Amino acid sequence: MAVFMQSLISGILIGGVYALIGIGLTLIFGVMRVINFAHGDILMVGMYLTYMIFTLLGIDPFVSVLITFPLMFLFGGFLQKVFINRVLNALAQNQILLTIGLGLIMSNTVMLIFTSDYKILTTSYSSSTIQVGGGVSVSTPLLISFLITAAITATLYWFLLKTDTGQAIRATAQDRDAAQLMGINVKRMSIIAFGLGSALAGTAGALISPTYYIFPQVGGVFTLKAFVITVLGGMGSVVGATLGGILIGVTESMSAVYISSGWKDVIVFVLFLLVLLFKPSGLMGKSRT
Amino acid sequence: MTKTILKAAVVLLLLGFLLIIPRYVESPYALHMMILLFLSVSQGQSWNIVGGYAGQHSVGHAAYFGVGAYTTMMLMHTKQIAPWIGVWAGVALVVVVALAIGSICFRLRGPYFVLASIAVAEILRLSAINLTSLTNGAEGILATELPPFKIGGTIVTEFLTKVPFYYIGLFLVVLTIGITYLVQHSKLGYYFQAIREDQDAAHSLGISITLYKNIALVISAVLTSLAGSFYGIYVGFVDPPTVLGLDVSVQIMLICIIGGMGTLWGPVLGSLVLVPLSEALRSNMVTEVLIKVGLVNAESKVGIFLKENLSHAHVLLYGILVVLVILFMPDGLMGFVKKLATRWKREAV
């Protein structure tokens, strides 16, 4: 039972970070109908940014989120304005290829600057744990990152539901043309959405940097995970992505414990295919014709 | 009519030229480059059938490439089965895999299809890593000793030089281009293009969409598997990332995108651009040229940096190329050339 509780809790904790990645992707898809294949690479840029801030300025990775978030927002806004904006009405495969290309540029530029060596960001609490009771212990960095994730997600929900800009973003996601007719600056909403999506991915990168290896190709895994999460939750649904992230986190951690850690990703992809086949609209998505 | 004859004559002349190259060129490096080119053309052309003509943009073609390469290499390594027999085992397996993938993924459209195709290829890659007893896991399979190729007791070739590989590669190119030509000029090709242009309209005209999508995928997968087997035999080594990785799928797709999707000569054009460029970067030629021309000082910090790192980043060039092509020539080089040609014709009139 302790093993079960242990893997459940660590699954939920890592799932929180996955949710952040998924929400970013789903926001971008919702507003622009563009599948961002560079999402994991944006996360990777966030990781390196955190690494640099940590090694050069000595700022703790969890504190540096305050710097990473706005910087990654600007980076995302720039990507949208210069590249993505030009293919909004293009064929789906061209959009996908463009983002794949951007991802390749990011990972290889980072490789040129930092080489492909694995980097480790070691903090004083990197390997410390907290006893919860009942033989269950929780990794401190995972717990902190989960709490930050929860705070960010709550703020994001408030932003999307209560503020004018948030409502404009949701209106754009619902019907781009109608939103434009209502006087919403759709172009600006797209920039904000891509900026927010990138900021969330970058923040997720910052939050996992104390527990993950940092290397230029790390993004690929997260891009794929982000897709699984968003499809599971329903493309474009923020609530769905939150649930999807936690579900994937728990699935991974359970299958690592009860099956084998080598097969955990296979199980996630099989789950993904099953959802695509039997409920392509996802857990929270409305079926589209 | 005369135009068709002229075209055929040019193609035959080119083929004749390619056939006699190994008689006059002995440099193994030049032959190696040609083999890489052949491999790239056949990969791109295979993808073209399902991606370019039928409009199903699979980003999981590494699955077929890898299954072909792995089956041939596994049979050769563990059961001592000659690769020219193992190839057909690979083809048989790939047909099964393609039909399985098709029946799952073709229920989905657009972005969902793309994601599903990636997921299937990733499942295969992870399985190849985990099924250690079968595939030797992440270490891969090394098998460089090829048995001599015999027909009825007489030895045709012992694979001592690159020449036999050159001819196999050329054969693959002729095969893939030939099949694409046949498809393009048959009812099948029109069905594929109808599905690409408007799936629902094609369906209402009585074309069985799932059937023809699967046919396109199987043709494409079989050809990709042949290319994969050829790669495995030629290089003598396969491991999960080099034949089953997502990069492989993206590279296969890129050949077509850069050259021009759904055109007979697009993949050839794409390969002619991509293969020399990535080879020039990989072998550090670019840095050497920059130094020779005098743009970069060999002893300066920039020169040393480029020398050490540029060869690792040849994929960076792929990225930049894709972005430029998508933004400025969405129909690829073929589309660009055609546009120039029509403009030139109009001005001539």
pLDDT (tens digit per residue) in A2-18: 788 888 888 899 999 99
Interval A26-54 mean pLDDT: 91
**What pLDDT digit, counting tens, does each position of B233-245 carry?**
998 889 888 899 8
Instruction: List the single residue in B112, B250, B313 with the smallest CB-CB distance to A108.
Output: B313
**What pLDDT digit, counting tens, does each position of B111-131 carry?**
788 888 888 898 999 999 888
- Here the CATH number for the domain that contains residue A17 is 1.10.3470
Q: Judge whether residue A289 has pLDDT over 50.
A: no
Q: Tell me: do B244 and B290 sit in the same domain.
A: no
Query: In a 3-state reduction of DSSP, which class is residue A129?
Result: strand
Question: Is A15 in contact with A248 (CB distance < 8 Å)?
Answer: yes
Question: Is A125 within the bounds of a domain?
Answer: no
pLDDT at residue number B171 = 93
**Nearest residue to B196 via CA among B11, B291, A151, B188:** B188
pLDDT at residue number B1 = 65
Cβ of A108 within 8 Å of Cβ of B107? The answer is: no
Q: Tell me: do B77 and B111 sit in the same domain.
A: yes
Question: Is B24 within the bounds of a domain?
Answer: no
pLDDT at residue number A285 = 63
Contact pairs from chain A to chain B, CB under 8 Å: 116
**Nearest residue to A62 via CA among A195, A198, A203, A197:** A203
Instruction: List the single residue in B309, B310, B316 with the smallest CB-CB distance to A104.
Output: B316
Question: Is B27 within the bounds of a domain?
Answer: no
Q: Tell me: do B228 and B155 sit in the same domain.
A: yes
Question: Is B18 within the bounds of a domain?
Answer: no
Question: Is A133 within the bounds of a domain?
Answer: no
CB within 8 Å of chain A, chain B residues 38-97:
57, 59
Domain boundary among B207, B228, B262: B262
pLDDT at residue number B93 = 92
Question: Is A42 within the bounds of a domain?
Answer: yes
- Would you call B315 an interface residue with chain A, using a CB distance cutoff of 8 Å? yes
Cβ of B126 within 8 Å of Cβ of A101? The answer is: no
Q: Tell me: do B170 and B224 sit in the same domain.
A: yes
Question: Is B3 within the bounds of a domain?
Answer: no
Q: How many residues does chain B have?
A: 349
Q: How far apart are CA B4 and CA B323, in angstroms?
A: 35
Q: Tell me: do B230 and B290 sit in the same domain.
A: no
Domain count, chain B: 2
pLDDT at residue number A220 = 82
Domain count, chain A: 1
**Nearest residue to B285 via CA among B256, B260, B314, B262:** B314
Cβ of B250 within 8 Å of Cβ of A100? The answer is: yes
Q: Which residue of B has its CA nearest to A113?
A: B309
Q: Tell me: do B302 and B172 sit in the same domain.
A: no
Question: Is B187 in contact with B76 (CB distance < 8 Å)?
Answer: no
Q: Judge whether residue A260 has pLDDT over 90.
A: no
pLDDT at residue number A202 = 94
Q: Tell me: do B296 and B238 sit in the same domain.
A: no
**Nearest residue to A69 via CA among A45, A37, A85:** A45
pTM, entire model: 0.86
Cβ of B323 within 8 Å of Cβ of A101? The answer is: yes
- The pLDDT-based confidence of A38 (bands split at 50, 70, 90) is very high
Determine the structural domain holding residue A85 and report its residue range: 2-116+139-278
Question: Is A131 within the bounds of a domain?
Answer: no
Q: Tell me: do B113 and B228 sit in the same domain.
A: yes
Instruction: List the single residue in A86, A104, A231 with the smallest CB-CB distance to B115.
Output: A231
Instruction: List the single residue in B59, B316, B330 with the smallest CB-CB distance to A105.
Output: B316
Residue that wins the pLDDT comparison between B38 and A58: B38
Query: In a 3-state reduction of DSSP, which class is residue A91?
Result: coil
Question: Is B250 within the bounds of a domain?
Answer: yes
Question: Is A283 within the bounds of a domain?
Answer: no
pLDDT at residue number A288 = 45
Question: Is B270 within the bounds of a domain?
Answer: no
Q: Tell me: do B212 and B145 sit in the same domain.
A: yes
Q: Tell me: do B145 and B92 sit in the same domain.
A: yes
Cβ of A277 within 8 Å of Cβ of B327? The answer is: no
Question: Is A34 within the bounds of a domain?
Answer: yes
**Backbone dihedral angles phi then psi of residue B348, each to the nearest 5 degrees:** -65, -35
pLDDT at residue number B41 = 94
Contacts of B88 (CB under 8 A, 6+ apart): none
Q: Judge whether residue A39 has pLDDT over 90.
A: yes
Q: Which residue of B has its CA nearest to A275?
A: B116
- Would you call A287 an interface residue with chain B, using a CB distance cutoff of 8 Å? no
Q: Tell me: do B140 and B73 sit in the same domain.
A: yes
Determine the structural domain holding residue B301 and report its residue range: 283-349
Cβ of B309 within 8 Å of Cβ of A112? The answer is: yes
- Segment holding B16, helix H or strand E: helix B2-24
Burial class (CB in 10 A: 0-12, 13-18, 19+), A177: exposed
Question: Is A195 in contact with A77 (CB distance < 8 Å)?
Answer: yes
Question: Is A128 within the bounds of a domain?
Answer: no
State the angle between helix axes of B187-197 and B163-184 in degrees (0 to 180), rounded to the nearest 10: 70
Instruction: List the single residue in A87, A92, A228 with the smallest CB-CB distance to B111.
Output: A92
**What pLDDT digit, counting tens, does each position of A137-191 carry?**
888 888 888 999 999 999 999 999 999 999 998 888 888 888 888 888 888 899 9
Q: Tell me: do B197 and B304 sit in the same domain.
A: no
Cβ of A269 within 8 Å of Cβ of B327? The answer is: no
Question: Is A216 within the bounds of a domain?
Answer: yes
Neighbours of B80 (CB within 10 A): 9
Cβ of B126 within 8 Å of Cβ of A263? The answer is: yes
pLDDT at residue number A10 = 87
- Segment holding B19, helix H or strand E: helix B2-24
- Would you call A270 an interface residue with chain B, using a CB distance cutoff of 8 Å? yes
What is the mean pLDDT for each group of 10 consecutive residues in chain B (349 residues)?
Answer: 82 86 82 92 93 87 93 86 85 92 80 84 90 82 76 71 88 93 90 87 86 92 94 90 87 88 89 86 73 72 71 76 85 83 81
Helix residue spans in A39-91 (DSSP H): 39-52, 65-82
